[in-house]
Amino acid sequence: MDLGILFLIIAATIIDSSVSLIGVFSLWIKDKTVQKMLLILVAFSAGALLSGALVHLVAESLANMEATMTFTVLLIGFISFFILERYIHWHHCHEGKCEEHPMTYLVLIGDGAHNFIDGLVIAASFMVNITFGWITTLLVIVHEIPQELGDFGILVYGGFEKKKALTFNLFSQMTCILGGLAGFFLVESFSSAFAYLLPFAAGGFIYIAASDLIPELHKEKDMKKSFISFLFFIVGVLFIFGTKILLGE
C-alpha cells in the first residue's frame, strides 16, 4: 500500500470538490441578475446532462459491458429516479405546494453518483502514474466547472436559497473523495460492481433532463427568451462533444 499515492488521491479529490463552490460568486450578484441567469443555466445543464449521459456515460459503459446490460441498468436508473421523485413529491408536496422542487434532490443524487465515478477515475489514474493522475484531475475539473455552475443554477431555480444550494452542492461534489478512497482500496475487488454506476447515473441524468429541466424551458412564453434558452441547451449538448474531442476520447 503506497500511502504517498493515497495522499495525492485525497488531495486531488479535495481540490476537485472545491469546484462546487464556484457558485459562491453569486452571493455578490444581485438577485435580479441571478434570476435572469437561471433559465440559461437550466437550459445549459439540461443539454449537458442529456449529452453527458449518452455520449460520455453510456459510451464508456458500452466499452466495459454488453449493450443489453448497459441499457437494462440505464432503464433501472431511469425508473429509480422516477420513483424517487414521486416519493419526494408525495412526502414534501402533499398539500399541493412545494417550496423546493423534487428535481433539486434528484440533481444532487445523480451528481453525487457522477462525482463518485470521477473519484474512481482520478484514483485509477494516480495508481498508473502520478503525472497522469494530475492531468486527469485537471481535465475532470475543467469538465466539472460548467456542470457545477449549471447544478447550482438548477438548485436555486428549484427553490433552494443560494447558501443552501452552495452547501448541498458541496456535499454532492465531495462524493468524489469517497470515490477516490474506494478506488484506492477497493477497485481491484469491486471494479465490476462500480461499472454499473455509469449506466445507472446515465439513466438518472436522462430522467432529470427530459422530465424536469426541459419541461421548465417550455414554460417560457417569451419567444426571444425561449430561443436564447434553446441556444444554451444546444451549447450544453455541444460542450460534452467538445470535451470528448479535446480529450481524444
What are the structural domain ranges in the chain? 3-19+70-243
Question: Which of 80-94, 106-120, 143-157, 160-174 comes out lowest in average pLDDT?
Answer: 80-94
d(C-alpha 113, C-alpha 172), whole Å: 8
Mean pLDDT of all residues in 108-128: 78
Mean pLDDT of all residues in 177-193: 75
Residue 236 has pLDDT above 50, yes or no: yes
Residues 127, 132, 138, 141, CA torsion sign: negative
Mean pLDDT score of the chain: 78
Exposed, middle or buried by CB within 10 Å (0-12, 13-18, 19+), for 46? buried
For residue 64, give the DSSP letter: T
Backbone angles phi, psi at 13, to 5 degrees: -75, -30
- Per-residue model confidence (pLDDT) at position 100: 60
Mean pLDDT of all residues in 154-175: 83
Question: Which of 15-24, 26-35, 143-152, 162-171 comes out lowest in average pLDDT?
Answer: 26-35
Question: Which of 7-16, 21-30, 75-84, 206-215 comes out lowest in average pLDDT?
Answer: 21-30
Mean pLDDT of all residues in 191-200: 72
Residue count (the chain): 249
Residue 96 has pLDDT above 50, yes or no: no
Sequence-ordered list of residues with C-beta below 8 angstroms from that of 86, at least 6 positions apart, any chain: none
- Per-residue model confidence (pLDDT) at position 157: 76
Residue where the block lists cell 463518485: 116
The three three-digit cell numbers of residue 170, written as one number: 458541496
What crossing angle do the helices spanning 102-128 and 130-157 adopt, rounded to 10°? 180
Nearest one of 109, 111, 60, 63 to 83, comparing CA atoms: 109
Query: pLDDT category, 26, cuts 50, 70, 90?
Result: low
For the question of whether the overall pTM of this predicted structure is more than 0.75, the answer is no
- Per-residue model confidence (pLDDT) at position 147: 67
Query: pLDDT category, 4, cuts 50, 70, 90?
Result: confident
d(C-alpha 4, C-alpha 18), whole Å: 22
Task: Report the percentage of the chain scoring pLDDT > 70.
Answer: 79
- Alpha carbons within 13 angstroms on the beta-carbon side of residue 217 total 24
- Per-residue model confidence (pLDDT) at position 117: 76
Residue 223 has pLDDT above 60, yes or no: yes
Query: pLDDT category, 23, cuts 50, 70, 90?
Result: low
Mean pLDDT of all residues in 159-164: 82
Q: Cβ atoms within 10 A of the Cβ of 98, count?
A: 14
- Alpha carbons within 13 angstroms on the beta-carbon side of residue 135 total 8
